[in-house]
Every structure is written in C-alpha cells, then in structure tokens.
Amino acid sequence: MKLSKELRAFEDRIGHQFARPELLQRAVTHASVSSPNRKDNQRLEFLGDRVLGLVMATALLEHDMTATEGQLAPRFNALVRKEACADVAAEIDLGAVLKLGRSEMMSGGRRKQALLGDAMEAVIAAVYKDAGFEAAAEMILRLWGSRVHQVESDARDAKTSLQEWAQARGQNPPAYVELSRSGPDHAPVFTIAARLQDGTQAQATAGSKRQAEQAAAKALLTRLG
C-alpha cells in the first residue's frame, strides 16, 4: 500500500516510517467514513490508550523514585487524559490527515478535542503494532516532551482542588454557572463562572464547558491565593 503525500509528511512529523502503511491509514480513519472495506480506528484507539498508559507510568516512576502512589496518580492522569492527547495531536497537525465523513467535516471534526485525542491514541497503537513497544515508547516520550518532567507535583485538576478548598472551610461545593454561549454549533465558545457559597467568583472562556469550568476554577484558586 502506498501512502499519500500528506501521510508521508505526517510520518516525518511523528518520526516513524511505517513498514505496514495500512496501519497508519487505519489509525486516521474515523468511524464516520468507515465501510466494510475501510476499517475505522476505534480498536486501535483502545490499544493505544493502554500503550500510552504503560509508557507514562514507567516514565513517571523513573523520573521520581520517591513519589508515592498518591502523588503519581494525578500526574499520570494529567499526562494521559484526552486533553493531553489532543494537545499533542494539534502540535503535529493530526487533524489535517484525518479521514472523516461529510457530517464530521462540516461540524469541525478536525478541531474537535475528543476526536483528536482518540486519533492520537490510534496512531500510538499503529506504531506499536508496526514496530513494537520500544518504538511506540520513543515516539510518545518525544512528542510529549517536557510535559513528562514538568507535570505539576500535585496535578489534580482545578475543579477538584477548588472543591477541596471549599469543603475544608465548611462551604458547599462550588457552583458552575454558564454565563454565555456564542459561536456556531460546530465551534461553540462558553463563558463559565466558578462561584463559591460566599459569592466569591471568577470566570473564564473556552471552547467546551469542561475546559471553561476548569479554567474558571483555576482563576478562582489564583484569586484565593
């Protein structure tokens, strides 16, 4: 099988030349365009998630020999969650080579965080199946780069930290209020306020409710000092 010019360029971006190019072709094929003769990337996504997890767990253990499980777990989650995979996918322009159905293309599928994260996991699995664990691990660590060593000592997400802050002071859990939504359906923009029981609040804007809530919680934690 011969890869397109775009996929050959993508090989250069990830630093791996496929001996079995059909694996890469499958990794970038979304379910919206699959057919009996064209398999989608969902099974590869399942495998890639596990390969990524093993690589990151090993890297974290080797980076900090004294960290407890309680410290390692949030760092691990920060490195393997869908947002992290999507960020890496965006850096290597994975969206540009995705094979999508018309509906996904029309709704901005090449920029969707969940879709990019899934496809990144599928690419990891494709490299693993093509050349083995060491090749997949080398690619992952190179693409994730400084994220592995700069992940915060306490990488709990901001919403969790804010809730714990409120509970420690006898307050109810923070409320998240949608202040506005703008933009087209395929690329909405949300403004969310994180609000404590005493009325203290902060707001943030992002392309998904979850991202906006996290950003608002982080802004409020910063305000609280």
121 is catalytic: yes
DSSP string of 58-90? HHHHHH-TT--HHHHHHHHHHHHSHHHHHHHHH
Element (H, E) at 106: helix 102-106
Looking at residue 108, the DSSP 8-state letter turns out to be T
Active site residue 93: no
d(CA 107, CA 110): 9
Phi first, then psi, for residue 80 (nearest 5°) are -105, -10
From the list 40, 121, 130, 157, the catalytic residue is: 121
Both tokens of 216, joined, read 């608002």
Give the active site residue among 45, 49, 83, 104.
49
Cβ atoms of 164 and 52 within 8 Å: the answer is: no
- For tokens 């050349």, name the residue: 131
Helix (H, G, I), strand (E, B), or coil: what is residue 41? coil
Contact 83, 113 (CB under 8 A): yes
Q: CB neighbours (10 Å) of residue 45? A: 21
The answer to whether 130 touches 19, Cβ cutoff 8 Å, is yes
Active site residues: 49, 121
